[in-house]
């Protein structure tokens, strides 16, 4: 009945307490949505590896809730480039394999440099950001140690009951799965026998390390250490960028693996520095020196994604998937979390529309939320799955065997025009157009009898002013 919003706010259960789940919760709270987060871990914890966000993703954070962007900065984020003569950030691809100048074994050829704009990428330690983000939301909305078992529809109102492995349950009007690459919500949506319920091995492995800045400078030199660089070569690459207020670098090695991963339920295995040294033995001495500062014992991360069997849809009734739960990508664009933030902004926009619908029409919560999630699927699925595909594509370029043969260097370098176009779609994503499309799609899909003549005052663009490019 009209006026339902004032009587009882929409209640949404977010499954997963990672960066996307917490950011979404912080945004929904601003829209008078009652939120509860269910996290299967006993405490909020992330590995101390780095992550980066584009300037556009950070503006999306600010549109949802300015405190999210503040948490990123307070967590020690820094621009991934540091050049006193140029305030812009750049993505750099550099020859990590060949010794192109006789007598200068440490010389590395700059292959391509892409302007990302002012503070175009900001790098941070994942654990530091999560720690700051937890402080943004009320502590009483979080339930830890809650491993989701199943979801049931209860009662004539269509509310959902989440049943957990510990025997407890909870109810909500809708469920949003932000539970990552091994999403239980996705598995429940598509069924345990459906390959789209699970991620699949990309035949790449990753080794991550945090290296103190003084050690990185010794290995790479001042400029390379303090600025993002992606060192490419045959069947492997190494990317690094500064984090923790320029006190260390986050370095990640990616290597090709022709074998099958032995256990798709466990994506991490013990590794050693010797694994990397064997592959990089003939690479540029700058990189072999840097690798010496990696710990002797490392974790070997299998890179999985949803490329082989993408999700056929992101919504089912009043259940929805967002972030890696919807479109888990390999990390080669460094934009998976950025895409998840875009998802969260779209969902926050839709909750404004849902609240207006419940206030001004006779639609039920289930009807309004199901409609909202249909729109989310229509607006976000193509882009999310494009990122999965594109990340695979650029990694193929980074690992071209042609990098190892001087006669095919020119052929290998032709990839950068395509790489530029792909990164452009990430760096220059039009989030204002997404907001407008979301609002228009929601209005278009409502039953004619329920349309309200004046909807302009309900849009996110009027609730929160648009963030300009700079």
Answer for the pair 75, 124: CB distance below 8 angstroms, yes or no.
yes
The neighbour count for residue 460, using CB atoms within 10 Å, is 24
Answer for the pair 320, 340: CB distance below 8 angstroms, yes or no.
no
Beta bridge partners of 36: 13
Distance in angstroms (rounded) separating the CA atoms of residues 64 and 464: 8
Tokens found for residue 391: 């990340």
Residues forming the active site: 208, 241
Distances (CA, A) of 162 to 93, 171, 172, 316: 46, 6, 8, 15
- Angle at the Cα of 167 (from 164 to 173), degrees rounded to 5? 45
Distance in angstroms (rounded) separating the CA atoms of residues 436 and 440: 6
- List the pLDDT tens digit at each of the 470 positions of the chain: 454 444 689 999 999 999 999 999 999 999 999 999 999 998 876 555 678 899 999 999 999 999 999 999 987 787 777 777 788 999 999 999 998 888 898 999 999 999 999 888 888 888 889 999 999 999 999 999 999 999 999 877 889 999 999 999 999 999 999 999 999 999 999 999 999 999 999 999 999 999 999 999 999 999 999 999 999 999 999 999 988 888 999 999 999 999 999 998 999 999 999 999 999 999 999 999 999 999 999 999 999 999 999 999 999 999 999 999 999 999 999 999 999 999 999 999 999 999 999 999 999 999 999 999 999 999 999 999 999 999 999 999 999 999 999 999 999 999 999 999 999 999 999 999 999 999 999 999 998 666 544 344 454 544 444 443 33
Determine the 3-state secondary structure of 117 from DSSP: strand
DSSP letter for each residue of 224-258? HHHS-EEEEETTEEEEEEEETTTTEEEEEEEEE--
Determine the 3-state secondary structure of 78 from DSSP: strand
Distances (CA, A) of 2 to 8, 149, 357: 12, 35, 8
Distance in angstroms (rounded) separating the CA atoms of residues 323 and 306: 12
What confidence score (pLDDT) does residue 28 get?
98
Distances (CA, A) of 194 to 199, 267, 309, 385: 11, 20, 9, 18
Per-residue exposure over 420-448, b if at least 16 CB sit within 10 Å of its own CB, e if not: eebbeebbebebeebbbbbbebbbeebee
The neighbour count for residue 132, using CB atoms within 10 Å, is 21
Answer for the pair 422, 93: CB distance below 8 angstroms, yes or no.
no
Distance in angstroms (rounded) separating the CA atoms of residues 431 and 345: 9
Distances (CA, A) of 213 to 210, 225, 226, 265, 309: 9, 7, 8, 35, 40
Determine the 3-state secondary structure of 123 from DSSP: strand
């Amino acid at each position: 009945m009209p006026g339902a919003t004032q009587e009882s706010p929409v209640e949404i259960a977010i499954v997963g307490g990672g960066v996307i789940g917490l950011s979404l919760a912080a945004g929904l709270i601003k829209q008078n949505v009652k939120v509860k987060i269910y996290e299967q871990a006993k405490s909020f914890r992330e590995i101390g590896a780095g992550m980066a966000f584009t300037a556009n993703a950070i503006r999306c954070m600010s549109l949802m809730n300015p405190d999210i962007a503040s948490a990123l900065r307070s967590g020690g984020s820094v621009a991934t480039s540091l050049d006193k003569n140029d305030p812009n950030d750049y993505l750099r691809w550099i020859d990590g394999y060949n010794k192109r100048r006789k007598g200068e074994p440490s010389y590395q050829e700059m292959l391509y440099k892409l302007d990302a704009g002012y503070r175009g990428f900001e790098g941070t330690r994942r654990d530091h950001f999560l720690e700051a983000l937890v402080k943004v939301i009320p502590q009483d909305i979080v339930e830890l140690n809650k491993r989701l078992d199943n979801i049931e529809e209860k009662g004539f109102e269509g509310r959902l009951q989440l049943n957990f492995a510990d025997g407890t349950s909870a109810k909500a009007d809708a469920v949003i799965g932000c539970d990552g690459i091994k999403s239980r919500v996705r598995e429940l949506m598509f069924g345990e026998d459906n390959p789209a319920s699970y991620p699949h091995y990309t035949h790449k492995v990753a080794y991550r390390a945090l290296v103190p800045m003084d050690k990185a400078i010794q290995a790479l030199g001042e400029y390379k250490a303090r600025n993002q660089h992606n060192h490419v070569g045959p069947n492997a690459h190494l990317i690094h960028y500064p984090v923790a207020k320029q006190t260390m670098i986050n370095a990640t090695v990616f290597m090709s693996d022709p074998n099958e991963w032995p256990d798709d339920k466990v994506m991490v295995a013990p590794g050693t520095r010797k694994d990397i040294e064997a592959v990089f033995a003939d690479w540029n001495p700058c990189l072999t020196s840097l690798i010496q500062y990696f710990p002797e014992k490392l974790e070997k991360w299998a890179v999985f994604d949803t490329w082989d069997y993408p999700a056929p849809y992101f919504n089912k009734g009043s259940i929805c998937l967002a972030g890696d739960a919807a479109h888990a990508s390999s990390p080669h664009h460094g934009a998976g979390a950025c895409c998840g933030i875009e998802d969260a902004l779209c969902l926050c926009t839709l909750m404004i529309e849902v609240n207006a619908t419940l206030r001004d029409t006779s639609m039920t919560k289930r009807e309004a939320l199901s409609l909202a999630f249909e729109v989310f699927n229509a607006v976000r699925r193509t882009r999310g799955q494009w990122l999965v595909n594109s990340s695979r594509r650029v990694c193929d370029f980074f690992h071209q065997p042609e990098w190892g043969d001087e006669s095919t260097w020119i052929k290998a370098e032709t990839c950068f025009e395509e790489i530029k176009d792909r990164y452009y779609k990430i760096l220059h994503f039009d989030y204002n157009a997404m907001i407008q499309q979301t609002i228009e799609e929601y209005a278009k899909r409502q039953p004619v009898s329920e349309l309200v003549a004046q909807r302009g005052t309900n849009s996110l663009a009027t609730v929160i002013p648009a963030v300009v490019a700079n």
